[in-house]
Structure 1
């Protein structure tokens, strides 16, 4: 698929050179997102109830680039050409050719239609109100948008920061949408990344960010009778915390068991907020999990006492997927998983192996 992505963009920029300006100079992250989006789409061609909303969200999000209908035509042509060149000539029959035409037309029509019907802004501007270092590689950034954004707790948005123009990255708000237009992100630096280290090292109060339209299928469950299992690692706690804060405003909720994980104890950076939620809401149980018992060498703060958070279960040690699978049977729960792609997939497979049905497990496309 990576070879297909390189071929596709090479064809696109050769045949339509004016479109090169829509993309960043470094294309690695863009190609990775393309591969994952194509894989997600192909896996769900026979599941329109899940695929079409995803494509509609992408169409609304792509407005931030200034994409026009003719640009979709160019991209679809490049994808088809790249596929045809990579396929065996005996396999690429007239029937296959027509199938790709129909599939790509469905994708582009859905995205264009959703973009044309949308009435919200293509881009929101945001002013940084607070940039607070939590760990040396993790920062909490709070902004005020130029106008409120209506997003569902659990969704994510694309952001562009001043230090990295045209390099959009996905972040999940850690608080629910509000009328004041304030939004909060938890950002961890990715080793070798372009954008997250720039946010960690260079974000200052007063900086102007840009944000795209909300994306993602996670959200507060509507069935108050079905129990919920939430599993988040690192900054993956952000979209789960936003949902818990939203649920705390309702009268009735199902029981929620949240497992929050990290490699080291210091990675459990948001336990104070989770403790407040657990104390105030008896339907919430929280279990912290770390792979190791000791903090890394660079963490110089005094070692905190264990289990000092009211309402929080004792910390457990081990890989979070194993800990969750061994803790109990979750077949009667709806499940949400947020974390790195490897963590999400490993946790999903372990839960399925222990009896949880795949249809009850939700996670967003692994962008």
Structure 2
């Protein structure tokens, strides 16, 4: 901190405490600087300090008779691993502090799940190259998605070093050359595949976008319209990885509600999910002029246009309407389309915020039928005044989406496309299969 010469008054004209006594002591540090100077921060700022130094009081139990791949899986699933690994990563490379969100728990738990699957699948393959190649292909696909992080080879190296150090620390004296060799080999194969996947993709890893309009049709939904710096060529029904300033380091998958276009116009629908890592701060904080980062499109919800056309059943819950509306808008480009019956559901009638747009689309598209559904028959008093919903061909039904859909039959002859929350997806898929819908006819993106 600075110790420049000061008079008895600061730039605002206010006297320092005790200024009259300090007029002649021009080089004395202000009180706040003296307090900070007395605090020893070296143990916390010294980057040489190893957060994994010293043995654990209770190392993880290791079954020395088990295959080493499964031992590594068990160590990864120790409840202490995510926190210890996060600290090891922060120590391994300063860049990891920016790459991971403040609460890295959810991201690292996803890593544990993916790594555990890779280890178990490789062990159960028993040398079968076809099954092992499935793991390598998965890593390549993941690497293509990780292009958005712009990782360098040194990041992969230091990530592996932090992983090894954490697992060794957890195992304690049970760590041996067998586990070290197995982990080194497995990580080298997976890391190489990740980098291969990232290198196979063309185009920019990231594209900037500016928020140009924000609509709030309900108390907990924001419709965000952006213009990207360069056009992002995504297919209708895909989702994009999105990084926003409202929760640093947190990437979120959002589905555009309009098709890709040369003007770079993109629209996302975001609902404030209680306990969500990003959605709450996004819905409450987004404003015109904000800068977002968009990355590689993923997923593939699509309408099968193979002739003869097979009719389509679409089921959207809440903001799950976004990718299905994008599919419908894309269908408008074609002269001939299969019939589409779209069930659009929410908890309260007033939450069917996109119904006016869907009704307008159906008015000029004889192949499109809209069926609104709400779990409750009326809006709660605290929701405030609600606009009257537009009329559709079918009257709004009351109940869950799966009940409303299966009330009409099994839809066994339709291509079924579902979008919504994880709970809604599970309930709808299970209910439809129980009602007789062939599972292979149902398409949805896993969250």
Please state which band the TM-score falls in when normalised by the shorter chain: 0.7 to 0.9
Structure-2 separation of matches of 1:151 and 1:253: 21
Superposed CA deviations along residues 96-126 of structure 1, whole A, max 9, x for unmatched, are: x97x988866754544223102121111100
SS at match of 1:327: coil
Out of 199, 204, 209, the position equivalent to 2:287 is 204
Q: When the two structures are superposed, what TM-score results if normalisation uses the length of structure 2?
A: 0.69
1:7 aligns with 2:93: no
Quick one: structure 1 residues 346 and 106, their matched pair in 2 at CA, closer, same or farther if it must change by over 3 Å? farther
1:341 shift after superposition: 0.9
Contact 1:8-1:78 within 8 A present in 2 as well: no
Structure-2 separation of matches of 1:104 and 1:291: 48
Out of 101, 107, 112, the position equivalent to 1:30 is 107
SS at match of 2:382: coil
Superposed CA deviations along residues 153-182 of structure 1, whole A, max 9, x for unmatched, are: 111112122232212211111100000001
Structure-1 separation of matches of 2:165 and 2:99: 20
In the TM superposition, 1:220-231 aligns within 5 A as 220-224=303-307, 225-231=309-315
Structure-2 separation of matches of 1:125 and 1:336: 30
Structure-2 separation of matches of 1:131 and 1:296: 25
1:344 shift after superposition: 0.4
1:21 shift after superposition: 3.9
Structure-2 separation of matches of 1:180 and 1:316: 38
- Structure of higher CA gyration radius: 2
1:132 shift after superposition: 1.3
Q: Bigger CA drift: 52-61 or 214-223?
A: 52-61
Structure-2 separation of matches of 1:358 and 1:75: 40
1:299 shift after superposition: 2.0
Out of 336, 341, 347, the position equivalent to 1:263 is 347
Quick one: structure 1 residues 160 and 21, their matched pair in 2 at CA, closer, same or farther if it must change by over 3 Å? closer
Aligned to 1:90: none
Structure-1 separation of matches of 2:369 and 2:117: 32
SS at match of 1:295: coil
Superposed CA deviations along residues 294-330 of structure 1, whole A, max 9, x for unmatched, are: 112222224526xx334x4211111111221222222
SS at match of 1:301: coil
Quick one: structure 1 residues 49 and 281, their matched pair in 2 at CA, closer, same or farther if it must change by over 3 Å? farther
In the TM superposition, 1:26-105 aligns within 5 A as 26-31=103-108, 33-34=110-111, 56-69=140-153, 71-72=155-156
Structure 1: state its 5+ residue gaps: 88-93
Quick one: structure 1 residues 54 and 340, their matched pair in 2 at CA, closer, same or farther if it must change by over 3 Å? farther
Superposed CA deviations along residues 229-282 of structure 1, whole A, max 9, x for unmatched, are: 211110000001001100111122222221111000011100111112212222
1:31 shift after superposition: 3.9
Structure-2 separation of matches of 1:106 and 1:330: 45
Out of 75, 78, 92, the position equivalent to 1:17 is 92
Alignment RMSD, CA only? 3.6
In the TM superposition, 1:273-352 aligns within 5 A as 273-302=357-386, 304=388, 308-310=390-392, 312-352=393-433
Structure-2 separation of matches of 1:219 and 1:191: 30
Structure 2: state its 5+ residue gaps: 1-73, 123-129, 172-177
1:248 aligns with 2:323: no
Structure-2 separation of matches of 1:125 and 1:363: 28
In the TM superposition, 1:88-127 aligns within 5 A as 108-127=191-210
1:357 shift after superposition: 2.4
Quick one: structure 1 residues 133 and 14, their matched pair in 2 at CA, closer, same or farther if it must change by over 3 Å? same
Structure-2 separation of matches of 1:37 and 1:360: 27
Aligned to 1:159: 242
Q: Bigger CA drift: 295-304 or 13-22?
A: 13-22
Superposed CA deviations along residues 60-95 of structure 1, whole A, max 9, x for unmatched, are: 3312212234545665787799899999xxxxxx8x
Q: When the two structures are superposed, what TM-score results if normalisation uses the length of structure 1?
A: 0.83
Structure-2 separation of matches of 1:309 and 1:40: 49
Contact 2:86-2:104 within 8 A present in 1 as well: no
1:353 aligns with 2:434: yes
Quick one: structure 1 residues 138 and 302, their matched pair in 2 at CA, closer, same or farther if it must change by over 3 Å? closer
1:144 shift after superposition: 0.3
Structure-2 separation of matches of 1:223 and 1:42: 39
SS at match of 2:407: helix
